[in-house]
A and B are shown apart, each in its own frame.
Chain A
Amino acid sequence: MSLLWLRVALVLYGLGLLHALLSLTGRGRFLSRIILPAVGVGAVFHFVSLAEGVAESGHLVPGTVHQSESLLAFLVMVFFLGVYLFYQTTAPGIFIFPLAFLLTLTSAIGQQPPEFSSPLLRSGWILLHIALIFTGYAALFLSFAASLLYLLQERSLKSKQPVGVLARLPALEVIDEIGYRSLLLGFPFMTLGLAAGSVIAGQQFGPGFFLDPKVLLSLLMWAVYMVLVYTRWSAGWRGRRAAFLSTVAFIVAVGAWAANYFSEVHRFTAP
């Protein structure tokens, strides 16, 4: 059943994706009325799917890579809906919907890989690690989406001829605030999540865990994240420079995520 609800959610997010693609070509208007209810209901189904997954497996920690992708997609959508509640804008959806859709897609139709069998998964530390890191990821994606929107809006204002979707973007400072706030929100989560991860891995594998690709990429991501926060805080970097850093952080984050498939330390199978 869990998979069925996930697929229902997927179809509804698909509407979001369609809207995002159409609005880039300036024709998304007819979908804009139904888009919010659609993805909102999608998120509810998604939550049901996650809850049933937990009930089936008997523990809170996602048992497979696909389940964790599903959880991440859900968190991203929650952030998107949160932004809508605070700022009454669906503009980040242009970037959020494709991402959430892809994550949900891989977890909804992908072959279920072998379950993680490591006894570590029963530990409360792992749960904490995952919850923190995933929230950090979701916030980072949102801030990435906001920095791209900022660039679009800046271009549109400078070109002096707003067209299509550009004419309906939220104000520059509002986009900036969304991006900065999600950055500030995500950073402590990411930091604590990585710290929790290091404690677990240090106990389990000794100092050698440090050279694992997943760990290295995660640290690199954290470093870029910190540079982002710092330059913004001290020099007010935004616009092009912030978007550039955000993109780097995003690419590294995707790399760190993908490293799940080839990391020794982060494999979760019984050693």
Chain B
Amino acid sequence: MKFQLIGVNHRSAPVEVREQLAIPESRLPEATRRLAQYPGIEEGLVLSTCNRVELLARSPNGHADLRGYLRDFFLVDTNSFASHLYELEGKDVVRHVFRVAASLDSMIVGEPQILGQVKEAYSIARNVGAVHSHLDALMTRAFAVAKRVRNETAVGTSSVSVASAAVDLAKKIFGSLEGKRVYLVGAGKMSELAARHLIAHGAATIFVSNRTHERAVDLASRFGGEAVLFEQLYESVDRADIVITSTGAPHHIFRREHGEQFLHRRKNRPMFFIDIAVPRDVDPELNKLDGMFLYDIDDLQAMVHSNLDERRHEAERAEGIIEEEVKRFLARLETLKVVPTIVSLQEHLETIRQAEVDRVRGRLGPMTREQEEAVEAMTRGIINKILHTPVSTLKTAASQPEATTLIDVIRRLFNLREDAAPGKRGRKD
């Protein structure tokens, strides 16, 4: 019984290949069901996101033809992009699934969406009955590992883009951005992006002012905001809590004395200036005023860099956790192997016990409840004592190579049938 995986991701394949293999959400249940029914496959799961398409399967011998499935399902010639496909099996699959769920294999390490996508794929696979035993155990464990990585490392806690760094800072100043006003001075692409981020986090009104008023009107209309004439800039800017400047002006637009005026008119309520223009629009002196916070593009980029460094560092720690979890999971899987034998051994002895008790009951005549219970307890006790050593020997031997021999011997000695206990029942152990 082996795990197998085939797939493409953002590193192995260009988007032209990934889009050939992408499966729309509506077809995922069908794709998953067909994978689980494909010859030689017992369980299957299909993960399809914009950065990866992966088929995960469990087969009795580890030689299921996953490429064949790709050919059949997509009606494509896999040879044309064979070099972009990666194939893993056994332990490597376990590690890979854990890493994907923990977002260590993502384009932006630590981004949180992937876990949701894996969970979605899992729930689809469960719904169509494509996972039920070992693969189920693997996925359940993967979610626990992802949670552990998230809790124990800081991977994914810091922002790694200039726009999200700006949002982080705004939140450090204002707490919630609910109802905060944003003022765009200059109608550039970057400031638009930053404004979109701020709005997504709750910022309310948007003002736009630009030397060419038409562009201000144009941008403001896209946000449902308000365009302000550039001549009225200084009178109106203090109405906003967050100011994003990105004009092409060769000199500072906002100087220290402007800041003092704004603070006076705002009764000292703090203001956050984000200056993404080069050359800069805001005099660095402004940052020295109480209640004025100024970040320029270099400050933001420095934040992003240190966050990226931190993420890399944390990702290394996360890899350690993954290795540990892979070992633990494989060991558990090994014990899973002896479970069916233990269960059928127990069932075998229990059948004998039942039959013997029934047989002797007739001869004993009517018994009181206490006597009834005493007989039950005694017979059960005998069985449990007999079973104790073989069961614990099996369990300890589970991860050793001799396990197969032991299983064989026990099955022959007690004449147990091979198909007695399917894996699923054994998982209660």
Q: Which residues of A contact B (CB under 8 A)?
A: 153-154, 157-158, 160, 170-174, 235-241
Contact call B172/A172, Cβ cutoff below 8 A: yes
Q: A171, B268: Cβ atoms under 8 Å?
A: no
Among the stretches B227-235, B288-296, B323-331, the one at the interface with A is B288-296
CB of B171 within 8 Å of the partner chain: yes
* Assembly CA distance A171 to B293 (angstroms): 13
Known: A160-B299, A170-B175, A235-B267. 14 other contacts (CB 8 A): A157-B169, A158-B287, A158-B293, A171-B171, A171-B175, A172-B175, A173-B173, A173-B174, A174-B175, A235-B268, A236-B268, A238-B290, A239-B268, A240-B290
Q: Known: A157-B293, A160-B302. Contact between A236 and B266, CB under 8 A?
A: yes
Find out whether the CB atom of A239 lies under 8 angstroms from the CB atom of B173: no
In angstroms, Cα B295 to Cα A158, docked, is 9
**Is B290's CB under 8 angstroms from A172's CB?**
no
What are 17 sample pairs from A and B whose C-beta atoms fall under 8 A apart?
A: A157-B169, A157-B293, A158-B288, A158-B293, A160-B299, A172-B173, A172-B175, A172-B270, A235-B267, A235-B268, A236-B268, A236-B269, A237-B268, A238-B291, A239-B290, A240-B290, A241-B290
Are B175 and A238 within 8 A (Cβ)?
no
Chain B residues near A (Cβ < 8 Å): 169, 171-175, 266-270, 287-288, 290-291, 293, 295, 299, 302-303
Query: Within 8 Å CB of B270, what residues of A?
Result: 172-173
Inter-subunit contact B291/A239 (CB<8 Å): yes
CB contacts (< 8 Å) of B173 on chain A: these are 157, 171-173
Q: Nearest Cβ in chain B — how far from A176, in angstroms?
A: 8
Alpha-carbon gap, A25 to B302, bound state (A) = 24
Task: List the A side residues contacting B290 at CB < 8 Å.
Answer: 154, 238-241
Closest to B176 in A: A171
Chain B: minimal CB distance from A172 (Å): 5
* CB–CB A171/B172 < 8 A: yes
Secondary structure dominating the interface of A: helix
Contact A157-B267, Cβ < 8 Å, known A239-B291, A241-B290: no
Residues of B within 8 A of A153 (CB): 172
Chain B residue at smallest Cβ distance from A159? B287
Which residues of chain A are near B169, meaning CB under 8 Å?
157
Q: Which B residues are in CB contact (< 8 Å) with A239?
A: 268, 290-291
Q: Which residues of A contact B267 (CB under 8 A)?
A: 235-236
Interface pair A171/B291, CB less than 8 Å apart = no
| Contact residues in B for A157 (Cβ distance below 8 Å) | 169, 172-173, 293
A241 to B291, CA, bound (A): 11
| Contacting residue for B174 out of A158, A171, A235, A241, CB 8 A | A171
For residue A159, give the distance in angstroms from its CB to the closest CB of chain B: 10
A235 and B174 CA atoms in complex are apart in Å by: 19
What's the minimum C-beta distance from A187 to chain B, rounded to whole angstroms? 19
Which B residues are in CB contact (< 8 Å) with A235?
267-268
- The answer for the CA separation of A154 and B287 in the assembled complex, in Å, is 11
Taken together as a complex, chains A and B put the C-alpha atoms of A18 and B155 apart, in Å, by 28
- CB proximity of B306 to chain A, nearest CB, Å: 8
Residues of B within 8 A of A172 (CB): 172-175, 270
For A158, the chain B residues whose CB sits under 8 A away are 287-288, 293
- The 9 A-B residue pairs whose C-beta atoms are closest, nearest first, are A236-B267, A171-B175, A236-B268, A239-B290, A174-B175, A173-B175, A172-B173, A173-B174, A160-B299
Q: Which residues of A contact B295 (CB under 8 A)?
A: 160
* A238-B172 in contact given A154-B290, A157-B293 (Cβ < 8 Å): no
Contacts of A237 in B (CB 8 A): 268
Cβ contacts under 8 Å, A160 to chain B: 295, 299, 302-303
**Nearest CB on B from A178, distance (A):** 11
Which of B171, B173, B174 has the most chain A CB within a 10 Å cutoff?
A: B173
Q: Which residue of A lies closest to B295 (CB)?
A: A160
- A177, closest chain B residue (CB): B175
Tell me which residues across on chain B come within 8 A of A171, comparing CB atoms.
171-175
Q: Which residue of B lies closest to A167 (CB)?
A: B172
Q: How far is the CB of A130 from chain B (nearest CB, A)?
A: 36
Tell me, rounded to whole Å, the shortest Cβ–Cβ distance linking B173 to chain A.
5
When chains A and B are docked, how far (Å) is the Cα of A3 from the Cα of B173? 44
A157-B168 Cα distance, complex, nearest whole Å = 11
Chain A, Cβ-Cβ closest to B173: A172
Q: Which residues of B contact A173 (CB under 8 A)?
A: 173-175, 270
* Closest chain B CB from A175 CB (angstroms): 9
What chain B residues lie within 8 Å of A174 (beta carbons)?
175
- A167 CB to nearest chain B CB (Å): 9
Instruction: Note all chain A residues with C-beta closer than 8 A to B303.
Output: 160
Instruction: Give CA–CA (A154, B271) in the complex, Å.
Output: 12
A88 → chain B closest CB, angstroms = 11
Determine how close the nearest CB of chain A comes to the CB of B358; give it in whole angstroms.
57
Q: How far in angstroms is the closest Cβ of chain B from A256?
A: 29
Complex CA distance for A68 and B175, rounded to whole angstroms: 37
